[in-house]
Amino acid sequence: MTRVRWLVCAVLVLAGCADDPSGPGTYDARVRSSTLTPGAVVLELTGVGIEGLTGEGGTTASWNRISGTEEGSATFRVVLVKEIPGELNFSVDVSNLENPAPTGVVVSAVHGNNVPAGDLNSFSVELIR
């Protein structure tokens, strides 16, 4: 009986590992800087099947498609603003999690006191499934 239990457990574990998420889903995303506290950023987000974007945790988000199509790869201009400066959090809805994760690049930013950020290399955009 013990062998049967181990076999059942092994099959269940392997079945769980083989299932990659597919279909619609959401990425949690954040923008942060290693050298300053951001108050707002403008970024370009590129990916396949991006369907929506929402600000999270006190971050307000606005976005608009600037190139591409709904079915294929598209690039969006995204504006993220936070009343209390800090990490800017948002979520990205996609049509299929099997597609490569979207990528983001900060193209403009201001400190928490509305002074333009000179060095954009300190910013990172992270998307987490």
Kindly report, residue by residue over 70-126, the tens digit of the pLDDT.
778 999 999 999 999 999 999 999 999 999 999 999 999 999 889 999 889 999 999
CATH topology assigned to domain 22-128: Immunoglobulin-like (2.60.40)
SS3 at position 14: helix
pTM: 0.82
pLDDT digits (tens, 9 = 90+) for 59-85: 999 999 999 987 789 999 999 999 999
Distances (CA, A) of 34 to 37, 73, 118: 8, 30, 13
Answer for the pair 81, 58: CB distance below 8 angstroms, yes or no.
no
In 3D space, the residue among 69, 75, 88 whose CA is nearest the CA of residue 45 turns out to be 75
pLDDT digits (tens, 9 = 90+) for 6-56: 444 444 444 444 456 789 999 999 999 999 999 999 999 999 999 999 999
